[in-house]
A and B are shown apart, each in its own frame.
Chain A
Amino acid sequence: MAFLPLIKAVLFAAIGFAVGAGATTGLRNLLGMEPWSTEPVVTMGYVFALIGWLLGVGLWDAWAREWFGKQPKEPLHEGWARFLRFSTDHKVIGVQYLVTMVVIMLLAGALSLLMRVELAAPGQTIMGASDFNTTMSLHGIMMIAVAVATVMGGFANFFVPLMIGAEDVAFPRINAMSYWIVPPVAVLLLATPLMGGFDTGWTAYPPLSVLNASGQLLFLLAFLTFGVSSILGGLNFLATIIMLRAPGMSWGRLPIFVWSIFSAALISLTATQSVALGLLTVILDRVAGTSFYNAAEGGNALLYEHVFWFYSHPAVYIMILPAFGIALEMLTHFSRKPLFAYKWVVASLLTVVGLSYIVWAHHLFTSGMGDYLHLPFMVTTELISIPTGMVFLSGLGTIWQGRLWLKTPMLFALGFLMNFVIGGVTGIFLADVPTDINLQDTYFVVAHFHYTIMGGEIFAILGALYYWFPKMSGRSYNEALGVVHFWWLFLSYNVTFISMFWVGILGMPRRVADYPANMADANLFVTVASFVLGASFLVFAGNLLYSWIKGPVASANPWKARTLEWQTSSPPPLENFPSEPTVVGSPYGYGVAGSVHARLAPAGGSKEQDGQS
């Protein structure tokens, strides 16, 4: 039975919930409190349900048995059923993440279209303010989850071990656990409307988030759980990259994608703890009656704002650094040229990591924090242009005089450069205090971050899905449809979101269901454009779904690329390579006579073979 582990997991979760909820009511009774109180009971019920879910889905069999002196069971490694259970194979986990995240992205995209319908005209069109707030908040947090986990969970899982010549990640079971934590997060978020929704946006600022409907609690628990998953993911990739590089894979030979994951993992490991604490304090205020955000008792909403952005600003680099890695990776292979200024790019990625911790208060320029903080945060924020600019120099230098092979992934990489520069420079408008005082909380900000996240990261992700599709599925996608998707998306995307800058300058506040009539035309225009944009995803979904099932079989290295993942079969075998590769040179030695990245000894034989095409 393919679904057995899932059924078991749901059952265990239900038992867990009953245990947690029962224990809480019992304890409350014992302490002389009103036994039933929804939020504390749901919170404890959820904690136990999560544990039950994880044990049921495979944590018990594959791991916890060991703690009781028993032999753990070997997970399934063959057949499609392995995707539905606790697999410790990084490639399976990578696919699990990618499929989950693409589905969530489409759902969240569909929510944004609902939102756009409501915004098409002033006054109420299809939903009231309450539903709008929930829709908007769900769209935001689901997309943020997609942006944080698609690359770190999906592509990094599948490709980092392959690219460094390892057989798996450092902690395969923790890896599986960080994936299986995600489905409960999705369930919680989708359940929020059942408990009154939540109307705080993805940032969940108290005191509103302490006072509103119980849907907020589910959101807080979901975000917190998701944080745990990201921390574990970050830990795993750091350990993997530090410890498991194949012989000869020195730091100077690491593909840039691996470096970008290394940088993002550093942030994910450390900064995430800060938001975890922020969310926890709000939960405590709700369920335990503490006073973190109760002004009458000395509580202070600014505490949350600082703690939240101390994570959430670095988090935007968890999103974009891997996108830089992906884009540069594709640019160099499809230009047939070495990566321009490799060492400088590596240094820049690490510089961004360092700076990312000291810029958070640029989200607080209008928050009422001390005025003396404006200048330093403006300065640190704008300094990030310098290392980011280096990434651009590398991209442009790489394509210059190259032999450009404009396949779909390459188009997306080039589109990334054009979109992200808009997102980046408009970031400067926001980092600049005088302009931000006006633009903060307007559609200018909305346009800025859709340019960085969607135009930047999502474009890179879509490019990567096409780029690595043959490797992951063993089949080729339809190139013509890929190109159609790119142009359709690129044009409709830019029309939609450029207009949002305009709407923002006109003075349209964000997170509103209704607005004064002077902005009606502009909003209608955006709504129409967003539907054209949404439709482009049908081409994408159709192409990849069909190709996954029926596409022509792909060769091991359709792009003639030099990195290690292309030197093994498509899809790779369980142990990744027939024998452990030995790295002897740069992955980007295009145009360098005699340059070889790695040698692989064929299984059983001793004859050496070039890792190159």
Chain B
Amino acid sequence: MLELLIVPWNLFPLAAAEEAAVVDNAFKLLMVLATPVFALVVVTVIYSMLRFRRRGEPTEDGPAIHGPRSVILAWLTVTTGLTILMIITPGITGLRELRAHASEAPDLLVQVQGGRWFWKVTYPEYGVSSTKELVLPVGKRARFEVSAMDVLHSFWIPAFRVKIDAVPGKITTTYATPDTLGSYDDDEHMRIQCAELCGLGHSVMRLSVRVVTEDEFKAWIAESTAK
């Protein structure tokens, strides 16, 4: 909970998936680790500017300190330790959490196709597809199989904090487990946003995302099949 002291304000926008929590926690942990590094440098510089300043032409040299070995080795030890810590957590631990369920079968499969400049989502299990919105049942782990029709695009849902490029000639995959009900109309972060420059319509290559209850999802599927 130390993190909360250092990052007291809520920095982050709406988080609506389990993955988002992992990503935000990693960010917070990095803030905690990075702040002292930043503070050390800034404080030393400002202190030196005030304390060691000489006005006018310098008349004398400072002490000839060439760099005592002990100081250098201590610094190396600390920075190496900190680096290793950052690699382990949030790096390795975060990666592990994100991939924890990679081998398990997903609850839902969604094929996502990016083209200039629209998104098309298909639910192969139900034979339904849409270019209007992405609807997901809450609490269900979805597997996204992303592909591109023309150039590179990138499938990003800011509220889920997941992103994967759409590459022509390839299928890339990512997972998300939405855990909050909501839609683009309530919060702009509930959208697929293209995150790889793809030309003229790149900025507006978005698709609204709606997270609904399982029943609503079933109903939506039924309604879409009927059409």
Chain A interfacial positions (CB closer than 8 Å to B): 129-130, 133, 199-201, 205-208, 211-212, 295-296, 298-302, 335-338, 340-342, 344, 366-368, 371, 374-375, 378-379, 382-383, 385-386, 389-390, 392-394, 396-397, 399-406, 414, 417-418, 421-422, 425-426, 428-429, 432-435, 437-438, 440-442, 505-507, 509, 511-518, 560, 589-592
* Given contacts A129-B201, A394-B67, A295 and B41 within 8 Å (CB-CB): no
| Contact mask for chain B residues 41-64; partner A; CB cutoff 8 A; 1 contact, 0 none | 110110011001110011011111
Let me know if B130 is at the binding interface, CB within 8 A: no
Cα–Cα distance between A253 and B27 once the two chains are bound (Å): 43
| Contact call A199/B197, Cβ cutoff below 8 A | yes
Considering only residues 79-104 of chain B, those with a C-beta below 8 Å from chain A are 79-80, 82-83, 86-87, 90-92, 94-95, 97-99
Q: Which one, A200, A341, A404, contacts B52 given CB within 8 A?
A: A404
Let me know if B71 is at the binding interface, CB within 8 A: yes
Q: Which residues of A contact B213 (CB under 8 A)?
A: none
Closest 8 CB pairs of A and B: A295-B169, A434-B94, A341-B67, A368-B172, A512-B203, A591-B64, A507-B158, A591-B61
Q: Which one, A386, A402, A437, contacts B76 given CB within 8 A?
A: A386
* Most chain B beta-carbon contacts within 10 A, residue among A438, A512, A513: A438
| Contact mask for chain B residues 190-213; partner A; CB cutoff 8 A; 1 contact, 0 none | 010111111111111010000000
Q: Which residues of A contact B61 (CB under 8 A)?
A: 336-337, 403, 590-591
Q: Which residues of A contact B179 (CB under 8 A)?
A: none
> How many whole Å from A126's CB to the nearest CB in chain B?
15
Q: Which residues of A contact B80 (CB under 8 A)?
A: 386
Q: Which residues of A contact B38 (CB under 8 A)?
A: 421-422, 425
| Contact call A516/B188, Cβ cutoff below 8 A | yes
Considering only residues 131-163 of chain B, those with a C-beta below 8 Å from chain A are 146, 150-152, 154, 156, 158, 161-163
* Given contacts A207-B151, A403-B52, A560-B58, A513 and B203 within 8 Å (CB-CB): yes
| Contact call A299/B54, Cβ cutoff below 8 A | no
Q: Which residues of B contact A432 (CB under 8 A)?
A: 26, 30, 86, 90-91, 94
* Given contacts A335-B62, A402-B48, A432-B94, A385 and B54 within 8 Å (CB-CB): no
Q: Which one, A129, A301, A592, contacts B168 given CB within 8 A?
A: A301
> How many whole Å from A515's CB to the nearest CB in chain B?
7
- What would 22 A/B residue contacts be, using CB atoms closer than 8 Å? A129-B202, A205-B152, A207-B150, A295-B169, A298-B169, A341-B67, A341-B72, A382-B87, A386-B83, A389-B76, A393-B75, A402-B48, A404-B54, A414-B45, A425-B37, A433-B91, A433-B95, A435-B23, A438-B161, A442-B195, A509-B156, A509-B194
Main secondary structure of the interface of B (DSSP, over half): mixed
Let me know if B65 is at the binding interface, CB within 8 A: yes
Cα–Cα distance between A366 and B193 once the two chains are bound (Å): 14
> How many whole Å from A357's CB to the nearest CB in chain B?
19
Cα–Cα distance between A435 and B26 once the two chains are bound (Å): 6
> How many whole Å from B199's CB to the nearest CB in chain A?
5
Q: Which residues of B contact A208 (CB under 8 A)?
A: 151-152, 197-199
| Contact call A389/B168, Cβ cutoff below 8 A | no
| Contact call B91/A434, Cβ cutoff below 8 A | yes
Let me know if B66 is at the binding interface, CB within 8 A: yes
Let me know if B124 is at the binding interface, CB within 8 A: no
> How many whole Å from B170's CB to the nearest CB in chain A?
6
Let me know if B167 is at the binding interface, CB within 8 A: yes
Cα–Cα distance between A383 and B146 once the two chains are bound (Å): 32
* Most chain B beta-carbon contacts within 10 A, residue among A368, A371, A511: A368
| Contact call A371/B161, Cβ cutoff below 8 A | no
Q: Which one, B27, B45, B202, contacts A399 given CB within 8 A?
A: B45
Cα–Cα distance between A442 and B62 once the two chains are bound (Å): 45
Q: Which residues of A contact B58 (CB under 8 A)?
A: 336, 403, 405, 560
Considering only residues 1-35 of chain B, those with a C-beta below 8 Å from chain A are 11-13, 22-23, 26-27, 30, 34
| Contact call A428/B197, Cβ cutoff below 8 A | no
| Contact call A130/B41, Cβ cutoff below 8 A | no
Cα–Cα distance between A396 and B75 once the two chains are bound (Å): 12
| Contact call A375/B92, Cβ cutoff below 8 A | yes
| Contact call A337/B65, Cβ cutoff below 8 A | yes
| Contact call B98/A434, Cβ cutoff below 8 A | yes
> How many whole Å from B206's CB to the nearest CB in chain A?
8
Let me know if B112 is at the binding interface, CB within 8 A: no
Q: Which one, B13, B72, B79, B172, contacts A385 given CB within 8 A?
A: B79
Q: Which residues of A contact B65 (CB under 8 A)?
A: 337-338, 340, 397, 400-401
| Contact call B86/A428, Cβ cutoff below 8 A | yes
* Given contacts A301-B167, A511-B202, A434 and B152 within 8 Å (CB-CB): no
| Contact call B199/A418, Cβ cutoff below 8 A | no
Q: Which one, B91, B99, B189, contacts A378 given CB within 8 A?
A: B91
Given contacts A385-B82, A389-B79, A435-B30, 10 further A-B contacts (CB under 8 A): A133-B197, A300-B167, A335-B62, A337-B63, A368-B164, A386-B80, A404-B48, A434-B23, A512-B203, A591-B63
Q: Which residues of B contact A434 (CB under 8 A)?
A: 22-23, 26, 90-91, 94-95, 97-98
Q: Which residues of B contact A438 (CB under 8 A)?
A: 23, 158, 161-163
Q: Which one, B99, B189, B197, contacts A200 given CB within 8 A?
A: B197
Give the nearest-CB partner of A383 in chain B. B83
| Contact call B66/A301, Cβ cutoff below 8 A | no
Q: Which residues of B contact A516 (CB under 8 A)?
A: 188, 191, 206
Q: Which one, A130, A368, A440, A517, contacts B195 given CB within 8 A?
A: A440
Q: Which residues of A contact B45 (CB under 8 A)?
A: 396, 399, 414, 417-418
* Most chain A beta-carbon contacts within 10 A, residue among B45, B48, B62, B92: B62
Q: Which residues of B contact A335 (CB under 8 A)?
A: 52, 62
Q: Which residues of A contact B83 (CB under 8 A)?
A: 382-383, 385-386
Cα–Cα distance between A514 and B61 once the two chains are bound (Å): 56
Q: Which residues of B contact A205 (CB under 8 A)?
A: 152, 196-197
| Contact call B64/A338, Cβ cutoff below 8 A | yes
Q: Which residues of B contact A298 (CB under 8 A)?
A: 169
Q: Which residues of A contact B34 (CB under 8 A)?
A: 425-426, 428-429
Cα–Cα distance between A302 and B204 once the two chains are bound (Å): 25
Q: Which residues of A contact B168 (CB under 8 A)?
A: 207, 295, 301
Give the nearest-CB partner of A433 in chain B. B95
| Contact mask for chain B residues 167-190; partner A; CB cutoff 8 A; 1 contact, 0 none | 111101000000000000000110
